[in-house]
Structure 1
Amino acid sequence: MDNNNRFAHFASAIQTLDLDRVSQPSDIPASFLLGQDGPLTSHYIQFDCVNPSARLVLVGITPGFTQWKNAMREAQRQLRSGTPADIAQRVAKQTGAFSGAMRPNLISLLDHIGLHRWLGLTSCDALFNSAGHLVQTTSILRHPVFIAGKKKPNYNGTPNMVRSSFLQEQIEEHFAQEARILDKAVFVPLGPKVSEGLDWLAQRGVIPADRILHGLPHPSGANAERIAYFLGRKARSTLSAKTDAARLDTINRDLKERVLKLR
């Protein structure tokens, strides 16, 4: 059981929330505020349910504002239609988990290193429908962190999460509790900042270091060239100077070998 699940506490506020009045993070009602340190704020999102049977944990950095708003809208729709709270929470989370252009990139990357075979699937596409019981989608900063006064207020890794006492507290209070429940799963960090955070937790004994698969290219569309090369869809000779082909080759080989050892 996840004693860190606070959906029931926020359900009433979600139902009465006027989303049309929330156009930016600063408009989020104070009732959703979990903590603040100067310009950094953390706000509740209904992503705190944990799938204890998950064998694979996909870890992003933190939900963004669009994801927060979409998840709130879906939870609101479910609750107002009389859906039981546990189902409403789960549906709202599934709606926003690595959605959009990011999801097909992520599926291709997971399949490429062989995780579908380890899980006994034809493709990791099934993780987002029929095989949802095998995956936990989450973020190391599980509840959205925003930076007031920024043109792009979504937290993107600055300040460093393992050097900020406020962000450390957010990790320990939420994600670390989740990770302890998933002690037999394999963790896939999406991006170097997330990798650093998982290593920080591994040093504290929260996650076994050998259960973290570091290095997978971030599935964002902004990372298109690195993804295309990693998947063998783009020739090395056509890469721009910003893409380190040798490093990607090493990561590609190492991840495939590590997944084979899991099997």
Structure 2
Amino acid sequence: MMSFIREVGPVFDGSKLPDELLLREKGALQVFYAPFEHINVKAKVVLCGITPGAAQAEIALNTFSMQLRDGVNEAEALATVKSAASFAGSMRSSLSKMLDHVGVNELLGIDSCTGLFDEHKDMVHYTSALKNPVFYRGANYTGNPLMLKEDALKWQIDEILSKEVQQFGEDVIFIPLGPKPAQALLYLSKKGFLKQGQILQGIPHPSGANAERIKYFCEEKEKDKLSSRTNAEVIDDARSRIKAQLADITMSKYD
């Protein structure tokens, strides 16, 4: 696949990934390869999404191809891909705002978590429950069918994510973005690959579709002005739990 990417790119279209990159297919599910292998083992925090979308896959493939064509070695090219493609676009600002609101920036000793995508990127590892991009019925996979119930998806958690989380120490915080990545990490914690206390669950996924939830999580919208699609009690509970968990982590650092 590496040679194919080197020869074909940078002309990849995220919505029409070539069959040469197809890893698995079952019914309406398709799993494609994208170069997201780099792991920042020195990270203090791990941000875990559900799976790269078409836009992220396109950025990753084209960035990797251009890096290789410029003579950059494979390891450096993969590191550049992670920085360029992970949570690319407006998701970064929404995610940073939520992390700052609960105090992750204070835990890390930085002004803002926007730096995790820039000058402080050495402190973070970006990943996904399903590292290779998944499409369902031709669209970005959003959680159905359930990844832990579908063998065509679960293998990525058992064979890829499990090995990845084991490369981090017990002081590293894992932040799943949305309930589906949280379920994957909790599944691995039950298998002993990380501790449940390392998982900071409850932060909404930073996609545009969650704009109202993000605003309420950051306390920028009143409860009585929420639509019926947003469960205020769930978000209130998650926000309070995360702040308490971060406070405990901070205290333990000085014990």
Work out whether the TM-score is over 0.5.
yes
Q: Does 1:16 align with 2:7?
A: yes
* 1:96 equivalenced with 2:82 (yes/no): no
**What residue ranges of structure 2 are gaps of 5+ in the alignment?**
251-255
Q: Residue 192 of structure 2 aligns with which residue?
A: 205
Pairing 1:38–2:27 present? yes
How far does residue 174 in structure 1 lie from its aligned partner after superposition?
Answer: 1.1
Residue 100 of structure 1 aligns with an amino acid whose one-letter code is G
Shift of 1:21: 7.0
* SS in structure 1 of the partner of residue 48 of structure 2: strand
Task: Quote the residue 2:115 is aligned against.
Answer: 126
Displacement after TM superposition at 1:20 (Å) = 4.2
Q: Is the Cα–Cα contact under 8 Å of residues 59 and 194 in structure 1 kept in the other structure?
A: yes
Deviation larger for 242-251 or 205-214:
242-251
Q: Which residue of 1 aligns with 2:253?
A: none
**Do the aligned residues in 1 keep the contact of 2:41 with 2:167 (CA within 8 Å)?**
yes
> CA separation in 1, counterparts of 2:234 and 2:187?
23
**Separation in 2, partners of 1:226, 1:17:** 40
The answer (yes or no) to whether the contact 1:186–1:211 under 8 Å persists in 2 is: yes
- Deviation for aligned residue 1:63: 0.7
TM-score normalised to structure 1 length:
0.89
User: CA RMSD for the aligned pairs?
Assistant: 1.7
State the Cα deviation string for residues 122-174 of structure 1 (Å, max 9, x = none).
11111111111111000010011123xx2x42211111111112222121111
Checking the alignment, whether the CA contact within 8 Å between 1:142 and 1:175 is kept in structure 2 is yes
Amino acid at match of 2:156: Q
The residue matched to 1:253 in structure 2 has which SS? helix
Q: Deviations over 1:83-121 (max 9, x none)?
A: 222211111221111111111000011111111111111
Pair 1:174 & 2:160 matched: yes
Within the candidate set 58, 64, 73, 2:62 is matched to 73
Q: How many residues align?
A: 249
- 2:102 counterpart of 1:113: yes
Percent of pairs identical after alignment? 36
When the two structures are superposed, what TM-score results if normalisation uses the length of structure 2? Answer: 0.92
Which amino acid counterpart does residue 121 of structure 2 have in structure 1?
A: G
**Structure 1 residues 20, 255: CA separation in 2 closer, same or farther (over 3 Å shift)?**
same
The 8 Å contact of residues 162 and 188 in structure 2, kept in 1 or not, is answered as: yes
Structure 1 stretches of 4+ moved >2 Å: 18-25, 32-41
Contact 2:9-2:66 at 8 Å conserved across structures: no
CA distance in 2, matches of 1:35, 1:173: 14
Residues 19 and 69 in structure 1, CA contact (< 8 A), matched pair in contact too: no
Q: Is the CA contact 2:14–2:55 (under 8 Å) kept in the aligned structure 1?
A: no
The partner residue of 1:233 within 220, 224, 228 is 220
User: Do residues 165 (structure 1) and 154 (structure 2) align?
Assistant: no
Q: 1:19 to 1:88 in 2, by over 3 A?
A: closer
Alignment gaps of 5+ in structure 1: 1-9
